[in-house]
């Protein structure tokens, strides 16, 4: 049986104690596993005690229920490893629904990256 090709891309960068995650395209399970491992390594290599997270989703960023469950796992891992506050910049109503209904208040939702950064900077 052939392995599935991964779908979905995430990039990770630090701006002081803010982890910025830019997310592109729809994710399958292989794609979210790859992103999960990249995120873990990014945090482990940084060794920050306390930090905040900003996620910026493009218009096509979505995933199956299995993908959303892995996102929940990743959010829990982030919290266990020092993430104090998180903001997600959404591009469409479906993303808002998924975040509000399935991720249940683990992040604050924004439509503008600057507003999200401002909110995160006020949380310290």
| All domains of the chain in start order, with CATH | 21-41+48-122 (3.30.750.24)
Residue 84 near residue 51, CB atoms below 8 Å: yes
Residue 83: predicted pLDDT: 95
Instruction: Collect all residues with Cβ–Cβ distance below 8 Å to 104 and sequence separation of at least 6.
Output: none
Q: What is the pLDDT of residues 26-43, one digit of tens each?
A: 999 999 999 999 999 999
Identify the pLDDT of residue 103: 75
For 83-122, what is each residue's pLDDT tens digit?
A: 999 999 999 999 999 998 877 777 999 999 999 999 999 9
**3-state secondary structure at position 53:** strand
Separation CA 124–CA 119 (nearest Å): 10
Which pLDDT value is given to residue 56? Answer: 98
Long-range contacts of 102-106, Cβ-Cβ distance < 8 Å, separation of 24 or more: 102/68, 102/72, 103/68, 103/71, 103/72, 103/75, 106/72, 106/75, 106/79
pLDDT digits (tens, 9 = 90+) for 45-68: 998 889 999 999 999 999 999 999
pLDDT, tens digit, for every residue of 73-85?
999 999 999 999 9
Helices (H), the chain: 29-46, 65-80, 93-102, 113-122
For the chain, what is the radius of gyration of the CA atoms?
14
């Amino acid at each position: 049986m052939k392995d599935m090709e991964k779908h979905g891309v995430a990039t990770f960068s630090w701006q002081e104690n803010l982890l910025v995650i830019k997310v592109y395209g729809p994710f399958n399970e292989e794609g979210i596993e790859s992103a999960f491992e990249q995120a873990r390594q990014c945090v482990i290599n940084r060794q920050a005690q306390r930090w905040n997270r900003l996620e910026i989703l493009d218009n096509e960023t979505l995933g199956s229920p299995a993908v959303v469950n892995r996102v929940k796992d990743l959010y829990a891992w982030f919290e266990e490893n020092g993430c104090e506050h998180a903001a997600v910049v959404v591009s469409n109503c479906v993303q808002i629904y998924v975040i509000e209904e399935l991720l249940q208040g683990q992040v604050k939702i924004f439509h503008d990256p600057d507003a999200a950064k401002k909110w995160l900077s006020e949380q310290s």
